[in-house]
Chain A
Amino acid sequence: MVPLWWYIVLGVVLFVIGAAGVLLRRNILVVLMSLELLLNSVNINFIAFGHYYDDYRGQIFAIFVIAITAAEVAVALGILVALARNKSTLKVDEVTMMKG
């Protein structure tokens, strides 16, 4: 059997890579995709703990995370389309409309 900490370490690695994408990339689309990666690495942890401690709540929380992620992506891409139509830029550092 695979020990539990292997799964946790995989979650940590994917989380750090996703955080690097969120903090470093300039393209808003890639930032959103890295956000998906972050949420997915958290799901790995939920399901690993649920499996090793024989608790179904891990899987249920993962289902909720997936559902809320779908809602988040729909709204984020809607905002992105509106942004590209009004401002025609996809660079994170050029979207400063709310700065005042």
Chain B
Amino acid sequence: MDQGFFLLFAAASVVAALTLVLARNPVHSALALMACFLQVSAIFVLLEAPLLAVIQIFVYVGAIMVLFLFVIMMIDVREAVLQRFLPGSNLPVLVLLVLLGVEMLVLVLRSDRFSVAEPVAMRTGGEVRQLSTTLFADYLLPFEVASVILLAALIGAIVLARKEPR
């Protein structure tokens, strides 16, 4: 049951990711990325992380992708449709990517550290409560630093995108 759902979501997310990389039109890429994020959030639900799944949908699909679509609407993307990939020979990059993928797969499949079949302990409810206790007790300083980073990014984005006064 679980395995079937995992294979379904994984296959859909890989297909969506390939569409993202191969699509000619940036709008199609954005929509494919949205579909991929939805599949990944379903995989988070399979991993018993419902809070993360909801955050994924809210932040990625709801905020970040809408931002991308707004920018695509603001900028004329017609000239970018003509040529998808970088000019020149892309062979070294492809070889590098294949090497990277094969290396990671070999490391994962040959190590017995990743062959855990069952979670160590089953959780007993109150998951969000425990998660938030850990977040706001042990990781309070990183949390505040992240909020300061978000504020700085907000101001920086406004300053960067503003028209310069003449």
Binding site for B on A (CB under 8 A): 1-10, 12-21, 23-27, 29-30, 32-34, 36-37, 40, 43-44, 47-48, 50-54, 56-57, 59-60, 62-64, 66-75, 77-82, 84-85, 89-93
Contact = CB atoms under 8 A, between A and B. Distances in A.
Interface of B: 2-3, 6, 10, 13-14, 17-18, 20-21, 26, 29-30, 33, 36-37, 40, 43-44, 46-49, 51-52, 55-56, 59-60, 63-64, 67-68, 71-72, 74-75, 77, 79-80, 83-87, 90, 93-94, 96-97, 100-101, 104-105, 108-109, 114-121, 123, 130-131, 134-135, 139, 142, 146, 149-150, 152-154, 156-161, 163
B14 A14 contact: yes
Contact of A33 (B29, B85, B156): B29
Interface residue SS majority, chain B? helix
A17 B159 CA distance: 33
A30 B17 CA distance: 11
Contact of B149 (A12, A33, A68): A68
A77 B43 contact: no
Given A47-B44, A68-B149, A81-B160, A40 B26 contact: no
Contact of A16 (B83, B85, B97): B97
B135 to A, nearest CB: 5
B76 to A, nearest CB: 8
Given A14-B14, A75-B157, A77-B161, 5 more contacts: A6-B10, A13-B101, A27-B26, A64-B142, A90-B79
Nearest to B146: A67
A8 B119 contact: no
Which residue among B14, B47, B94, B134 has the maximum number of chain A CB atoms within 10 Å of its CB? B47
Given A13-B14, A74-B67, A68 B146 contact: yes
Contacts of A90: 75, 77, 79-80
Contacts of B6: 2, 6-7
A33 B20 contact: yes
A24 B85 contact: yes
A37 B152 CA distance: 24
A16 B21 CA distance: 11
Contacts of A13: 14, 17, 101
Given A24-B86, A26-B86, A56-B130, A75 B77 contact: no
